[in-house]
Structure 1
């Protein structure tokens, strides 16, 4: 939820507050202040900037998304849920750059780890179908579309699925 810079400022603030409270012999308040600083450190490693990057991805701001994701130095330390969205975001970035192989790998990782919502899962499957379409593997693309249709789709996803299906049928005709 916070950028690394904001987290660092909050950590420094928490430690500074703890030092001040120590000088005033407010040990319980000092402990609470140190605990809050530790929570920000924990959040830095377990959540990174994935949430902010995902929100920017929804807006289509790929340059900002790339900057935010690049601030995650060690994705292996992310929590399971954040790791799946990290791979989702990486897949979207690489798909935007037409790097189909890497994009396919990243979206597959996100799918294997598991996403929080069925809508996000359907979006990943739709992206995988689109990648297979770009790679001219139409049967696999149709298989992914079949899997997407198993979900209760939102109207925008439904439109994209129908559009991709028409494109596949047009190419195969």
Structure 2
């Protein structure tokens, strides 16, 4: 749960520790430091700054969350459980900025990855249905609503789905 600079500093520390252990002929400690270095490097590519960005996102600090999400070197390399959250946060930030095409693309990608639970997936489908309504595409909106109905488990989600369904049927 570090940003890029923190991980780079930690990797440098482990390399320095491994070198010092090799200098003093402590092979096992050097191997342990190398293992820690490899773990931090692995977590850099598989988890990156997504968890830290989600903390800022939940607090409503979208600028910090955007900055941390931009540190992800390649989203395709993220672990499946991190990629869904990455795309979900990127989509919501784009939605707040009224960049609807970008938000739709990120929500569509997020729908293919695991999120917290079925209700979270239902909200992704609700957002996609709402964006389809914005484009006056009633057929796609109804398809997203049908998927959201299968996943929704809270009364709030059901209420939103019903409102979007009424609007979609008007088209």
Tell me which residue corresponds to 2:8. Answer: 8
Q: Distance in 2 between matches of 1:128 and 1:78?
A: 23
Structure-to-structure mapping, 1:76-155, within 5 angstroms:
76-115=76-115, 117-155=117-155
Give the ranges of 4+ consecutive aligned residues of structure 1 lying more than 4 Å apart after TM superposition. 162-166
Tell me which residue corresponds to 2:21. Answer: 21
Classify the secondary structure of the residue corresponding to 1:136.
coil
Tell me which residue corresponds to 2:38. Answer: 38
Calculate the aligned-residue CA RMSD, in Å.
2.5
Shift of 1:126: 1.4
Q: Distance in 1 between matches of 2:74 and 2:93?
A: 18
Shift of 1:41: 0.9
Which range moved further: 114-123 or 14-23?
114-123
Q: 1:155 to 1:12 in 2, by over 3 A?
A: farther
Which range moved further: 29-38 or 154-163?
154-163
Classify the secondary structure of the residue corresponding to 2:151.
coil
Tell me which residue corresponds to 1:172. Answer: 170
Unaligned 5+ residue runs, structure 2? none
Shift of 1:4: 0.9
Q: 1:144 to 1:6 in 2, by over 3 A?
A: same
Classify the secondary structure of the residue corresponding to 1:112.
coil
Shift of 1:131: 1.0
Which range moved further: 100-109 or 150-159?
150-159
Does the aligned pair in 1 maintain the 2:152–2:158 contact within 8 Å?
no
Tell me which residue corresponds to 1:48. Answer: 48
Q: Distance in 2 between matches of 1:123 and 1:56?
A: 20
Shift of 1:55: 3.2
**TM-score normalised according to structure 1 size:** 0.82
Instruction: Report how many residues are paired.
Output: 171
